[in-house]
A and B are shown apart, each in its own frame.
Chain A
């Protein structure tokens, strides 16, 4: 059983460009959350998707947007990249059972903005 997978592993962009990161959840999971982890910091919640809709959003600007597909996979899009967007982007999946369930994390995508 494959766990959470993310692509690409690494990405280098320049300021002002746009980027799309992809995530496939663990089998049986229907909810995907995205986190940004700056170097030396803990992950920060960006947003969560369930039933193809954004359920809640953290303190991130509108430049950050996402999508969830019918197969539960998800994309994170960042427009007008800034140097400060350089970070490890983590995707986490879980199953919405109405109880506290474990979020399973992928290995992340390392984004470098030059």
Chain B
């Protein structure tokens, strides 16, 4: 079946530190991969995506590379800010159903950034 595994949180960092949140997946074929962010009291916002192997998604200083050989999609940012504090979800959409996109989410990783 399809599943996503994320590192457990919370991840606690000081401002300007380097961030890595690990994500690995299990899927049939080659899914599309996503990172969503959820700020307190809000819904999910798409942060970045990659639809095929070796693609790099990037947005707002965050990056993630679709690694087929390790079935991973780790999220990175070179210098975090207090405003990045949120819960980050890794997700996949199984391939072959482009008109129908069911998202399979990991359990989320809470990031806390202190000044």
Spell out A's residues near B (CB within 8 Å): 4, 33, 35, 40-45, 48, 50, 55-56, 58, 90, 92, 94, 96-108
Contact = CB atoms under 8 A, between A and B. Distances in A.
Contacts of A40: 107-108
30 contacts: A4-B43, A33-B102, A33-B103, A35-B103, A40-B108, A42-B4, A42-B89, A42-B91, A42-B108, A43-B89, A44-B105, A45-B102, A45-B103, A45-B104, A48-B100, A56-B100, A58-B102, A92-B103, A96-B99, A97-B99, A98-B98, A99-B98, A100-B49, A100-B98, A102-B49, A105-B36, A105-B43, A105-B44, A106-B43, A107-B42
A105 B36 CA distance: 10
A35 B100 CA distance: 15
Contact of B106 (A42, A45, A101, A106): A42
B24 interface: no
Interface of B: 4, 32, 36, 41-46, 49, 51, 89, 91, 93, 98-108
B43 A107 contact: yes
B98 A41 contact: no
Contacts, number: 64
A100 B43 contact: no
3 closest Cβ contacts across the A-B interface?
A42-B105, A105-B43, A105-B44
Contacts of A43: 44, 89, 103, 105
B107 A98 contact: no
B107 A100 contact: no
A90 B100 contact: no
Contacts of B42: 107
B44 to A, nearest CB: 4
Contacts of A96: 99-100
Given A100-B32, A106-B43, A107-B43, A42 B98 contact: no
